[in-house]
Amino acid sequence: MKEYRYVGKPEIRIDGKEKVSGAAIYTDDINFGPDLLYAFIVESPHAHAMINSIDTSEAEKYPEVLAVVTGKDFPYKFGLYMQDRFIFAQDRVRFIGEQVAAVVARNPKAAKAAAKLVKVDYTEIPAVIDQMEAVKEGSDLLHEDLENYNHVPWFFPKPKTNIAHWRKIRKGETQKGFDEADYILEDTYDVPRYAHCAIEYHAATGLCDKSGRLTIWASSQSPHTQRHLFAEALKPLGFTHKDVRVIAPHVGGGFGSKAGVTMEILAAAIATKVKGHPVRIMWSREQEFYNTYQRLGVKTFLKIGVKKNGKITALDHKIYWDAGAYVEYGANVVNAVGLSAIGPYNIENASIDSICVYTNLPPGGAYRGFGYSEFLFGLESHMTRIANHLGIDPIEIRRVNAIREGDKTAYGANMNPNGLLKAIDAVEKEIEWHKEFKSSDPNKVIGKGFSLLWKAPAMPPNASSSCFLKFNEDASINLLVSGMDIGQGYLTVMAQIAGEILGVPPSKIRTENPDTDRNPYEWQTVASHITWGSGNAVKKAALNARDQIFDLVVRTKHLPKDTLYLEDEKVKCTQNPNFELPLKDFVVDGIQMKDGTFKGGPILGKGTFLPEFSTAKSNPETGQGGHPNVHYTTGAAALILEIDKHTGKMKVLKAVEAIDAGKAINPDLVKGQIVGGLVQGLATVLYEDMRYDDKGRLLNPNFTDYKLPTAKDIPDKIVPIIIEVPQPDGPFGARGVGEHTMLPAAPMVANAVADGMKVRIKSMPVTAEKVVMAYLDKDK
């Protein structure tokens, strides 16, 4: 493999010093001066109710209150994939915590106190909390006028039901496949909702100046998409895209929750009512839980038929999503899973129904993994169960069925080159799969669990990225991109890509989080596509700048272009070892000729990238015919779990995860993703446990009752393994890994529990209580 100078090296994060010195500015750290106003939101106390009237008169009289706004002020809809929600509730609320009004005051205490004086008169109507109830015929409806909602062309809502989208896959002949099977396993799995729990809250400050310029500072994964959605929603007020600006400082974690638009639209809208004053909205930890997005809950019905040798003959996967009150983003999670719930397997006959169901719970939306964790829990539990039934090794059955390059995906396109088999081998070896593990403590047993993972970016076929590259006088570089460093190390990786091509060390490249006025377009920092998509744009911008440099040298020094190369911040020539032209001598000022004139001028690179082969067009009844996913990233993982037979208490002794990054531009950061993501995944299965009452009220919206793992709760050992089978259209062969890292955690824990305790837990989380109860039941 080619040796690179900066790519593939564990470079130090270019934002490292800022973050450890306290210099890093997050949204709420920005000083807006003494004119800053504070908004406080009035929320629905009901899961489903009609709003009869809102009386704001008392609140308006409260000292230091400048404005009280309600749905009447903004009868505008918004939404990324489906416009099914209003900025503030209009005549109806659909979940507890939904925004009904806002009070704007000179200080936060006044805003909060006055918000209590807003009187909202409601009439409660029946709420539907469970998706299996909501999907029944005759269920109370959340959205009676569903057929009139604007949505992307690849959604298929069912009017007069609670079904917002139904993604169908019909591949091969499923019934025939089951007829040919020697063994069929059919079961259901439950995965509840989860919260992202970025440590930084959602925060946004809006300023609409008297000239009509609207600026939003937001903790964001999607500055350009936010600008677009603000401009679209507020178009009736006269805004166009050029009038709206989103500035995105450092983000204190996103995990999908800061993608698209949630509370930020409140800052944009409210600012238009208090022109000239910046107005700040910051969510509390409780609001983080119930009024951003949550990970969708799901119930899956899975049926797999196999031959005696483990070869899968057919799969039928029916997936019912509890998508919440609004699915403007969440319906695309459902879609993504519909396309991919076949798993990383080559299956000829498959039927998938992924069904997006409205419920009176908080809106579901993007969460690291984008639905794949949810279906993999069932699928990867199923694979181990089938292997056990057939007496085949659980790793072997996966090898037999593993998807390979050129095999057909569920929607009929060819699978990309991938290192799935290499990942399986690497994990099998590192975890010592075939070794017997025994606890020295008679009260404890040891179980081993294994799982595969795969995921594709879920994005519109025209999601694009772009980059401007500016040289400075000293040949340092400002790289302007609009992806977000949400912790994954994006800024550093972009600098490594540009630096590699231009022979400039990443430490001499400044890449910052964007301002939509200054930085060129990027769709969103989601889908783990940013290294690939934005990386391609950066690579093109760097190649474009290199071309300009070479052309100038050809023109002025009369050297053949194909003999020129860049190294150590200099132009060099393969034919003439004595030729060395430092970049700093000319990248801004140009090259001086004998007659004293100058040629050239500032080098400005430009690159854009759009996956031109992708299409979401397909047959709605079969899902066949399109190329909706650009590629899949695959991997494997295993763990060794120690379980206390009497208490069910579990401890991960060792976990191994191998992921095919294509090319790890920065292996240190990829390993950071593997470890961090795996721990986040383990948290969902071993710690976090979201509870609602039967009225749709979230009972544990805080870190005391919704437990995140601490440093004391992590596995004794995590071994991250990087596999590199290049992605042909990726920058230096790279593909994304950020979300994938958490995907195998839950099924491998369930599989390890089954291995050690001989009980199968089919609902997440896998708590000590569940394990020990199942164990006691088993012995009865």
Partner 1 sequence: MKKISINLNGETRYVHVEPNDVLLDVLRDKLGIKSPKSGCERGDCGACAVLLNGKSVRSCLVLAVEVDGQEITTIEGLSKDGLTPLQESFIEHNAFQCGFCAPGVTISATELLNKNPHPSREEIKEAIAGNLCRCTGYESIIEAIEKVAKK
Query: Which structure tokens are listed for 267?
Result: 């800052």
Q: Facing residues of 316 across strands? A: 303, 351
SS3 assignment, position 215? strand
Residue with tokens 């890994």, as numbered in its chain: 737
Per CB under 6 A, does 344 bind ligand FES?
no
Q: Segment near partner 1 (CB under 8 A), from 199-207, 230-238, 614-622, 642-650?
A: 199-207
Q: How far is 1 from 30, CA to CA, in rounded Å?
A: 46
22 binds, among ligand FES, partner 1, none (CB under 5 to 8 A by kind): partner 1
Give the nearer residue to ligand FES in terms of CB position, either 200 or 428. 200
Please tell me what DSSP assigns to residue 380: H
With CA atoms as reference, report the closest residue to 129 among 373, 362, 375: 362
User: Secondary structure of 268-289 in the HEC alphabet?
Assistant: HHHHCCCCCCCEEEECCHHHHH
Give me 629's structure tokens: 């996913």
Comparing CB distances to ligand FES, the nearer of 18 and 232 is 18
Taking CB within 5 to 8 Å according to partner kind, which of partner 1, ligand FES, none is near residue 702? partner 1
* Minimum CB distance to ligand FES, residue 484 (Å): 13
Site string for partner 1, 714-743 (x = CB under 8 A): x---x-------------------------
Query: DSSP E strands: which ranges in 266-349?
Result: 279-282, 297-306, 312-324
| H helix or E strand, kind and range, residue 42 | strand 37-43
Q: Is 79 in the site for partner 1 (CB under 8 A)?
A: no
Say whether residue 206 binds ligand FES (CB under 6 A): no
Quick one: 562 exposed, middle or buried, by C-beta within 10 A (0-12, 13-18, 19+)? exposed
The interface mask with partner 1, positions 275-304, x = CB under 8 A, is ---------xx-------------------
CA 458 – CA 335 distance, rounded (Å): 9
Q: Which amino acid is at 703?
A: F
The least distance separating partner 1 from the CB of residue 9, rounded to whole angstroms, comes to 12
We find the least distance from the C-beta atom of residue 708 to ligand FES, in angstroms, to be 10
Q: Should residue 201 be labelled a site residue for partner 1 when binding is judged by CB under 8 A?
A: yes
Q: Which one of ligand FES, partner 1, none is in contact with 1 (Cβ closer than 5 to 8 A by kind)?
A: none
Question: Strand 244-247 and strand 312-324: pairing?
Answer: unpaired
Determine contact, residues 347/271, Cβ cutoff 8 Å: no
Instruction: For the segment 183-202, give every residue that binds ligand FES (CB under 6 A).
Output: 199
Is 32 near partner 1 (CB under 8 A)? Answer: no
**Residue 250 CB, nearest approach to ligand FES (Å):** 10
DSSP-assigned states of every residue in 112-176: HHHHTT-EEEEEE------HHHHTSTTPPPS-TTGGG--B-TT----TTSSEEEEEEEEES-HHH
- Binder of partner 1 out of 66, 198, 216, 314 (CB under 8 A): 198
- Please, which of residues 754-773 interact with partner 1 by CB under 8 A? none
Task: Identify the residue among 6, 15, 142, 413 touching partner 1 (CB under 8 A).
Answer: 15
Helix (H), strand (E) at residue 92: strand 92-93
8 vs 623, which CB is nearer to partner 1? Answer: 8
Minimum distance of partner 1 from residue 89's CB (angstroms): 26
Q: Considering beta carbons, is residue 234 or 431 the nearer one to partner 1?
A: 431
Q: Which one, 386 or 495, has the nearer CB to partner 1?
A: 495
Neighbours of 717 (CB within 10 A): 12
Residue 508 CA from chain centroid, whole number: 30
Q: Does 21 bind partner 1 (CB under 8 A)?
A: yes
Cβ closest to partner 1, residue 18 vs residue 432: 18
What pairing do the DSSP bridges indicate for beta strands 477-480 and 214-218? unpaired
What single string gives the DSSP state of each residue in 461-517? TT--EEEEEEE-TTS-EEEE-----SSS-HHHHHHHHHHHHHT--GGGEEE---BTT
Which stretches of 325-464 are assigned E, i.e. beta strand?
350-358, 444-455
| CA-derived radius of gyration, the chain | 27
Residue nearest to ligand FES as judged by C-beta position: 199
Q: Is 253 in the site for ligand FES (CB under 6 A)?
A: yes
**List 6, 154, 255, 329, residue binding partner 1 (CB under 8 A):** 255
What residues have CB less than 8 Å from 691, skipping those under 6 apart? 698, 699, 700
Minimum distance, C-beta of residue 737 to ligand FES, in the bound complex (Å): 17
Task: State the angle between helix axes of 490-502 and 530-557 in degrees (0 to 180), rounded to the nearest 10.
Answer: 30
Which of partner 1, ligand FES, none has residue 20 at its interface (CB below 5 to 8 Å by kind)?
Answer: partner 1
The answer to whether 429 and 343 are in contact (CB under 8 A) is no
List b or e across 408-440, with b for residues whose CB sees 16 or more CB atoms inside 10 angstroms: bbbbbbebbbbbbbbbbbbbbeebebeeebeee
Q: Which does 714 bind (CB under 5 to 8 A by kind): partner 1, ligand FES, none?
A: partner 1
Cα torsion 688, 691, 697, 703 to 10°: value is -30
Kindly state whether residue 64 participates in binding partner 1, applying the rule CB under 8 A.
no
Cα-based angle 718, 722, 723 (whole degrees, multiple of 5): 140
**In the complex, what is the shortest distance from the CB of residue 675 to partner 1, in angstroms, rounded to a whole number?**
4
- Listed ranges 19-27, 344-352, 372-380, 566-574: which one lies at the site for partner 1 (CB under 8 A): 19-27
Interaction partner, residue 251 (partner 1, ligand FES, none; CB < 5-8 Å by kind): partner 1
Q: Residues with Cβ < 8 Å from 104, sequence gap 6 or more? A: 37, 38, 39, 65, 66, 67, 68, 69, 111, 270, 273, 274, 279
Binding mask 132-151 for partner 1 (x = CB under 8 A): --------------------
18 binds, among ligand FES, partner 1, none (CB under 5 to 8 A by kind): partner 1
**Which of partner 1, ligand FES, none binds 679 (CB below 5-8 Å, type-dependent)?**
partner 1
Binding mask 675-694 for partner 1 (x = CB under 8 A): xxxxxx--------------
Cβ–Cβ < 8 Å for 358, 164? yes
Least distance to partner 1, CB of residue 397, Å: 29
Cβ proximity to partner 1, 488 vs 727, nearer residue: 488
The minimum distance between CB 31 and partner 1, in angstroms, equals 7
Q: Which is nearer to partner 1, 250 or 299 (CB)?
A: 250
Closest C-alpha among 275, 288, 284, 266 to residue 204: 266
**Nearest C-alpha neighbor of 362 from the set 699, 47, 77:** 47
253 vs 726, which CB is nearer to ligand FES?
253
**Residue of the chain from 412, 601, 672, 726 that contacts partner 1 (CB under 8 A):** 672
Could you say whether residue 132 binds ligand FES (CB under 6 A)?
no
647 binds, among ligand FES, partner 1, none (CB under 5 to 8 A by kind): none
By CB under 8 A, which span of 18-26, 158-166, 172-180, 354-362 interacts with partner 1? 18-26
Peptide bond into 667 cis (omega under 30): no
- The 451-490 site mask, x for binding ligand FES (CB under 6 A), equals ------------------------------------x---
| Partner that binds at residue 45, options ligand FES, partner 1, none, CB closer than 5 to 8 Å by kind | none
The span of 246-254, 304-312, 502-510, 757-765 binding partner 1 (CB under 8 A) equals 246-254
Residues that bind partner 1 (CB under 8 A): 10, 12-13, 15-22, 24-26, 28-29, 31, 196-201, 250-255, 284-285, 486-489, 668-669, 672, 675-680, 702-704, 708, 710-712, 714, 718
Residues that bind ligand FES (CB under 6 A): 199, 253, 487
